[in-house]
Amino acid sequence: MIHSIRFTAVLDTNVIYPIELRDLLLWFAFDELYTPKWSQHIFEEWRKLMQEKGLPSAEIERRVNNVEMAFPDASVKNYQSLIPGLVLPDPKDCHVLAAAIKTNANLIVTQNLKDFPADYLSEFGLTAKGADDFLTDTIDLNHKAAVKSFKRLVANKRNPSLSEHEVLQRYRKMGLVDTANYLHALI
């Protein structure tokens, strides 16, 4: 169970890339419901995904810089030496685990749970959760702060502006069904 801002979560690329998911994760972090962490490897993967989707270089750098400026302490440093000693089903994910170990994170938030075996992660005092589970746990921590965060996210939505219910519907379509239903019940 998440219990304070001291609760630290490494965000994998696949939860940073979808803009709706990233926005909710970052608003919750901004409102101190947890502490986010990531690595340069994760941001390089994020940049690559945005390039593959055809975003202009200037927009890619604007997005990355905005996130880095909003959370200047989130980037994990000096984790690379841990990577060669780690063994995961997909060796390309070892950098995520290395960053989590280095920063003493409590968990990894990822949509690829199969690539982060629970038994292996437990050797490092870590677990992995999907975004929907993580977000519902975070909402459970502090309903008022979570709803406030969500409402501010919606109020700041541009291109296009959306209602709370439209945003919740987008969450449902992207698989954040429990998160959307929980928030819906609270607003």
HSE of 105 in the Cβ direction (CA atoms, 13 Å)?
31
Which tens digit of pLDDT belongs to each residue from 28-60?
Answer: 999 999 999 999 999 999 999 999 999 999 999
Strand partners, 11: 109
For residue 131, what is the domain's CATH number? 3.40.50
pLDDT digits (tens, 9 = 90+) for 117-174: 999 999 999 999 999 999 999 999 899 999 999 999 999 988 788 999 999 999 999 9
Residue 3 lies in a domain: no
Number of domains in the chain: 1
Cβ proximity of 126 and 26 under 8 Å: no
In a domain? residue 72: yes
4, pLDDT greater than 70: no
Radius of gyration (C-alpha) of the chain in whole angstroms: 16
119 C-beta neighbours (distance < 10 Å), count = 6
Domain of 151 in residue numbering reads as 8-186
Which tokens in the block code for residue 81? 């030496």
Amino acid at 50: M
Strand positions, DSSP E, the chain: 8-11, 35-37, 107-109, 127-129
CB 97 within 8 A of CB 126: yes
Question: Would you say residue 108 lies in a domain?
Answer: yes
Q: What is the mean pLDDT of the chain?
A: 94
Segment 45-104, tens digit of pLDDT: 999 999 999 999 999 999 999 999 999 999 999 999 999 999 999 999 999 999 999 999
- The verdict on residue 88 lying in a domain is yes
Classify residue 1: in a domain, yes or no.
Answer: no
Q: What is the DSSP letter of 89?
A: S
